[in-house]
Amino acid sequence: MSDAAENPLGPDAPPAREHAGRAEQLDVADPLGALRDRFVLDDTVYLDGNSLGALPRAVPDRVADVIAREWGELRIRSWSESGWWTAPERIGDKIAPLIGAAPGRVVVGDSTSVNLFKAVVAGIRMAGKGCTEILVDATTFPTDGYIARSAARMTGLAVRPVEPARIGDEVTERTALALVNHVDYRTGRLNDLPGITAALHSAGALAVWDLCHSAGALPVGLDAHGVDLAVGCTYKYLNGGPGSPAYLYVRESLQERFDSPLPGWNSHAEPFGMDPDYAPADGIVRGRVGTPDILSLLALEAALVAWDGVTIEDVRAKSLALTDFFLDCVAAYAPQGRVRSVTPAEHQRRGSQVSLACADAGEVMAGLIRRGVVGDFRHPDVLRFGFTPLYTSFADAEQAAWVLGEVLRAQPEVEAGATGGRG
């Protein structure tokens, strides 16, 4: 008997929704499940927290108070009375435990790009005089490469792109530093921060890490692994809001040698002395530049309240459980051969997103969004789904996979080569 005869809906009928009950069980048992109430959410399945985190409930009232009272009433007095002046270091200390850093090693302010520039140029200045090159993650987010090449031109060094897994083999005594992404933005691959850092140090080079896709999603261990310099954004898994300020980490033993290429009055030892000669402040303060963006800084500080009582280890455990479960659901619900995971299956090589190679990915993602599942795609053929354990549920993961299957069944199959695809 044919399949069509056995199934009155025909051979292309959707599969049974066999993982829905399992999702409910996992959510009931989830020790982080109650944290979802700390965010402003609706019926949308939001899996784009790797681009922009959801709004924490503590933020609107805090921002309203900053505007109405601290700015509206106290005005200039708020620099001292409301703690505006110390916000970059204070908020840095709140981020520090999430990236494995002690207090006094993280400062918040400026954009990721600006902090990358500070870190790379300062790293080159700290390197030995015989250094002639910097290594750059060959799979890096484009801006990191742009910044590295600009810094190299300014300092007379060459840039050599290297696959992260090969940095240990490619580093030489002529290498000043390597700039590496902890998690690949396209595939979700987790790079070996401890191993790469150790390999760089064994050759006398510095390790500069971009944590944009790992901070707030998994343990980083900057202090434990001896990372020299690191930067990261705060609007992804830290939920700081659109364009929220980035942060800069400087290893404690390097802080007195940190020579910023952007010396500003905020990083001066006597900022109100208005001395025409620059004298850097002690410690992490020398990572500051100009006047802090107070509204965004204090919104970020309020957003970090969502982390109260949460350990990054528990977040990592849920992240891996969520991504495993989502991949199981996709395997069950998506038409065979239409999508392929490009995210490593091994836990030690996976961040907190799942990337699926899919022909006509842009149209597929548009179909998902129309049906209330929000992820994103990267050219030419990658669907990205970010899992933020503070508010993503297992029901979200199951629903997203189910809707993906519906969209793929509703859209005509496109040959992968038509979009330059790999899947």
Known catalytic residue at 105: no
Marked catalytic residue, from 137, 144, 210, 228: 210
Known catalytic residue at 360: no
Known catalytic residue at 387: no
Marked catalytic residue, from 235, 247, 326, 333: 235
Return d(Cα 258, Cα 133) in angstroms, integer: 19
Marked catalytic residue, from 236, 251, 338, 350: 236
Marked catalytic residue, from 17, 27, 125, 141: 141
Known catalytic residue at 236: yes
Known catalytic residue at 129: no
The residues annotated as belonging to the active site are 141, 210, 235-236, 384
